[in-house]
Chain A
Amino acid sequence: SADYTAKVVMISKDNETFICNFVLFTLLELFLTLCVFLFIGHRTFKRWLAPTLREIKRRKDKMGPQPPLRRSTFLEWNYQAELFAFGKRLNEQFAEEALQQAFTDRSYIVQEETRLRDLNIESPQLSLTDNWPLVEVGEQLTSDTVYRCLRASLPYVPEECISCAANYLMSEDVLARVSSGIGTRDLILSADFPPEAATLARSLKAVVGALEKSCGQDRAAQFVMDLVVSQLCGRNVYEMWSPEDPLALVTAIMSRRGGGSIEPRLLGKAAPNTILAVYRVGIYSDKQFLGSGV
């Protein structure tokens, strides 16, 4: 600025022009800096950002909780592509119509028919079939496969335990969790959103039915074993099964196997004359140690 002021001094010959030029110049300089500031921008945090976000949040909270959006309402959605990918993800070859039918819930068809009737279409003709026949086939196949798989792989386990484990695996919670984990949530056409556990479980059974229709029973059975029976991994048996008379059960097993009578013996005790007494009991058969427990 020293050079500029020197030039200004040199140019002007009298005091008035000098003052005028000086004032004009400073204004010009100020304007140029402002221009630079406005048009290039300052590369630091924006002072308007936090208050804007705060206001947006305030308005959002004022609106209250909004219902969740279906993934199919998004712009980037292609149902056919999603169905194709669903099959490929599971390494299975589904027939298109079968898979489409598997995901169409009865409640969706009812909803659509009601909607069309409200629009004064008297007998609405929907090209959708609901998944009920596939659900029936799938349920039968799933429960059969689960039971047979458990029975075959655990030959010495008592019948009640096997049926308890099979019932656990066929329960709505487990099937809903499996269904959700393979990505049926976005594909299911149903009135309820997010889909309830019952809907998810039904969809999974329908998918098994669709697979049986497309590829045959063996592939469907393998699918059930891979996805449903594997949920037993790491579970505690006694969460699913509590035997009423364990001693009688063990006696029955031993007599079936041709072993001797069962004899429980006390292996150890702690604080026997208190309310927190602990007794360690060992089960013996023909003086052979079978097992122990507290």
Chain B
Amino acid sequence: MLSLGWTMRDRGYVDSWDIILLKNINDNVIAFVSVLGNCHLFLKAGFPRAPLKNGIGRVIVQLQRATFKFCKFNGASSGVREFLESDLLDFANNNPGIVVYVKPRRHHSPSITAEYLNGERQVISLHNFTRDEVNKWVKFLRTQSGHPFIRFRKMWHTDNPSIQGPWTPFTNKSPELNGVEFPQEVLSRPLNLPRSATEQLQELFRHQQAAGLNKNQVT
């Protein structure tokens, strides 16, 4: 059973703990609050996954069936009735892969049941929803994969996070160390020892000698 937290099923809307749906601003704006972070006690954690490698070969819309249950007379279903009169045929024509069932039920609150290819169901109450809101939730359901809602630990997933292989103690170790007999004076020296004053003077002297030789050669 899918659940957008327990809030969704009970109340028919979501609160800020799960997802924020900005209904009133624009027709096409649906904003999602990040579901990273462990503040969701009841949400399981996981990584985003495509069902059956969807998208690699061809894209298959995961929504299989949508069942609209509504009352022909009650005011709570008026938005759904408007949707069924005006937008349903467009939705059905644009999505021939989704089977749409319409169930008029007297004295029942309107709802939509979405069934997905992985066998999951999502039920959303459309009680007192306007036609626009119904449209948005239908669009929302069409774009879901049917996987139960989880807290995403990362917004990506890969089976092979390391291409060249994960680090081992042998990575970046020179094979020359294999033929070495320890203790060895060269390898026992500290790595970044600064040059002593004596060594710097010796270096300067050598430079001068070389420069002097060059001058002599030139002249």
Chain A residues at the B interface, C-beta cutoff of 8 Å: 75-76, 78, 81-82, 84-86, 88-91, 177-178, 181-183, 185-186, 225-227, 229-231, 233-235, 265-270, 280, 282, 294
Q: Is the CB of A294 within 8 A of B170?
A: yes
**B65 → chain A closest CB, angstroms:** 8
The one of B52, B57, B96, B101 that contacts A84, using a Cβ cutoff of 8 Å: B96
- Cα(A267)–Cα(B178), bound, Å: 7
Residue of B nearest to A181 (CB): B52
Residue of B nearest to A231 (CB): B53
16 A-B pairs besides A85-B99, A88-B96, A233-B53 with CB distance below 8 A are A76-B65, A82-B99, A86-B97, A88-B97, A89-B98, A177-B52, A182-B52, A183-B64, A226-B58, A231-B52, A234-B159, A265-B175, A269-B178, A270-B170, A280-B168, A294-B168
**Could you name 16 residue pairs across A and B whose Cβ atoms are closer than 8 Å?**
A85-B64, A85-B97, A88-B96, A89-B64, A90-B97, A182-B60, A183-B117, A226-B56, A226-B58, A227-B57, A234-B158, A265-B175, A268-B173, A268-B178, A270-B169, A282-B175
Q: Is the CB of A230 within 8 A of B178?
A: no
Given that A89-B60, A268-B170, A268-B175 are known contacts, is A181 also in contact with B117, CB under 8 Å in the complex?
A: yes
> Which residues in B have their C-beta under 8 angstroms from that of A234?
53, 158-160
Binary contact readout B201-217 vs A (1 if CB under 8 angstroms, 0 otherwise): 00000000000000000
Q: Is the CB of A178 within 8 A of B52?
A: yes
- Name which of B57, B119, B169 has the most chain A CB atoms within 10 A of its CB: B57
> Which residues in A have their C-beta under 8 angstroms from that of B58?
90-91, 226-227
- Cα(A84)–Cα(B64), bound, Å: 12
> Which residues in B have their C-beta under 8 angstroms from that of A91?
58
**B4 → chain A closest CB, angstroms:** 21
> Which residues in B have their C-beta under 8 angstroms from that of A178?
52
Binary contact readout B148-178 vs A (1 if CB under 8 angstroms, 0 otherwise): 0000000000111000000011100101011
Name the 7 nearest CB pairs between A and B, nearest first: A226-B57, A89-B97, A234-B159, A181-B52, A88-B96, A76-B101, A230-B57
Tell yes or no: B67 within 8 A of A by CB: yes
Q: Is the CB of A185 within 8 A of B119?
A: yes
Tell yes or no: B51 within 8 A of A by CB: yes
Residue of A nearest to B53 (CB): A230
**A199 → chain B closest CB, angstroms:** 16
- Cα(A283)–Cα(B118), bound, Å: 46
**A204 → chain B closest CB, angstroms:** 12
Residues from 28 to 64 in B contacting A, C-beta threshold 8 Å? 51-53, 56-58, 60-61, 64
- Cα(A280)–Cα(B170), bound, Å: 8
> Which residues in B have their C-beta under 8 angstroms from that of A177?
52
Binary contact readout B84-111 vs A (1 if CB under 8 angstroms, 0 otherwise): 0000000000001111010100000000
> Which residues in B have their C-beta under 8 angstroms from that of A269?
178
The one of B97, B103, B160 that contacts A76, using a Cβ cutoff of 8 Å: B103
**B38 → chain A closest CB, angstroms:** 27
**B158 → chain A closest CB, angstroms:** 8
Given that A181-B117, A268-B178 are known contacts, is A225 also in contact with B57, CB under 8 Å in the complex?
A: yes
